[in-house]
Every structure is written in structure tokens, then in C-alpha cells.
Amino acid sequence: MHKLVLLPALILYMIWGGLMLSGCAEQKSDEAMIQAQIEILQNAIETHDRGQFMDVIDTQYRDQLNNDRQSLQRMLMGFFFRYRDISVYVSATQISMQQIRADAQSQVVVTGGKHLIPESARHYQVHSCWKKVSDEWLLSCLEWQ
């Protein structure tokens, strides 16, 4: 008999505890949000998901080759056509924050090929600029060496 009474009380306690924990959960920091956006870009490239990639790009995007958002999209489609398998490894990301702008420095290795074995691999030092638009961080500029 005690088991039947204890079960609803236990369920109510778990629900209440979950609500209390979710209310106390901290919002993601801006740095964590930018890091998540970088991971979305990385995943989008590896899965050839143009839409997911472009969702992270600011409308005013520019890079060191003077590509705008539309040119970047065309370049991305060319990479997807050329390389069936693309892997992106991002490490050592350092993010410096301003109010609605941030800069990130990363080490990036990109490999690509038409088959299982990569045909090419390149290492880049990447500087990315991020702009906060409606509580979302978007990539606004990119430079690489």
C-alpha cells in the first residue's frame, strides 16, 4: 500500500526538481554561443548542408577575397561538388568579446576527397568576426592564412 502512495509523490518530486533545476540553469555565454555556431558551420560543411551553413552567415558578410554572402554560397557549392567527403577539424579557438561584436582565432585543418581517402589536406589560421543580431551570433567576416 505504501508503494502506491510513494510513487505519485516521487513523480511529483522529480517534476518539481526538474522545474527548479531548469529555472536555475544559466543561459549560454556569448562565447559558448559562438563556439556552438562554429560547430554548426563545421557540421554543415561535413554533411554538405548549404542551408544550415548559410543560416549562420550575416547578410553583410565579407572575407579577405572580397566575397559577399552570395559569392560564399557559390564557393561552398563548388567545394561540395568537388569533394564528396570533407572533414573539418577546428582547435585552439580563442574568442575575444566586445558588446555586439566578437573575434575568434582558430586553427583549422580541412581534408577533402572523392573517396574514403583524402586527396588534399590544408591547415589554416583563421580569424573570424561575429556580429550579434537579435540574440544570435552570425559570421560577418573571415580571414585565413
Percent of the chain with pLDDT over 70: 79
> Residue 2: pLDDT above 90?
no
Phi, psi of 142 (to 5 degrees): -150, 135
> Residue 110: pLDDT above 80?
yes
As a whole number of angstroms, the distance between CA 123 and CA 117 comes to: 17
What's the confidence (pLDDT) of residue 116? 67
What's the confidence (pLDDT) of residue 63? 96
As a whole number of angstroms, the distance between CA 62 and CA 124 comes to: 18
Domain-embedded: residue 9: no
pTM of the model: 0.77
Amino acid at 73: Q
CATH number of the domain encompassing residue 79: 3.10.450.50
Domain-embedded: residue 20: no
Query: Per-residue pLDDT tens for 25-66?
Result: 456 899 999 999 999 999 999 999 999 999 999 999 999 999
Domain-embedded: residue 2: no
